[in-house]
Amino acid sequence: MISNLTTQLLTYLIIYLLTYLLIHLSVQEERRARERRSRDEAMEQYRRDRELDEVEEAQFQSYARDVIQHCEQRGRNTYPLRRAAAAAAASRQVS
């Protein structure tokens, strides 16, 4: 038969191992939650950056349209301005 001391030692060992396992699992869950929050924050920042890019592009195109109209009214060559506006729009779509 197993002695009383051996039974106590086994009980303490089981309790210790279960406690260690619970702590380990909670640390792993915290790490996963931190990674998930970090990933979510990065995605939110990316979304905000894209929205800001769209606003800036719209502002630039509006300004370019105004400048081109002004130059056309004065009889100036607007071909370089149109090319620059088109190139800016194309580069924003690529990135």
- The Cα–Cα gap between 14 and 86 comes to 71
The band of 87, judged by pLDDT with boundaries at 50, 70 and 90, is confident
pLDDT tens-digit readout, 36-69: 999 999 999 999 999 999 999 999 999 999 999 9
Supply the pLDDT for residue 69. 95
Does the pLDDT at position 95 exceed 70?
Answer: no
Q: Treating both helix axes as pointing N-terminal to C-terminal, what angle do 79-94 and 4-73 enclose, rounded to 10 degrees?
A: 170
- State the pTM of this model: 0.62
Domain ranges, ordered by start, for the chain: 4-94
Does the pLDDT at position 4 exceed 90?
Answer: no
For residues 43 and 82, is the Cβ–Cβ distance under 8 A? no
Q: Between these two residues, 71 and 94, which has the higher pLDDT value?
A: 71
Could you tell me the end-to-end alpha-carbon distance of the chain, in angstroms, rounded to an integer? Answer: 75
For residues 64 and 87, is the Cβ–Cβ distance under 8 A? no
How big is the CA angle at 56 (ends 83 and 75), to the nearest 5 degrees? 35
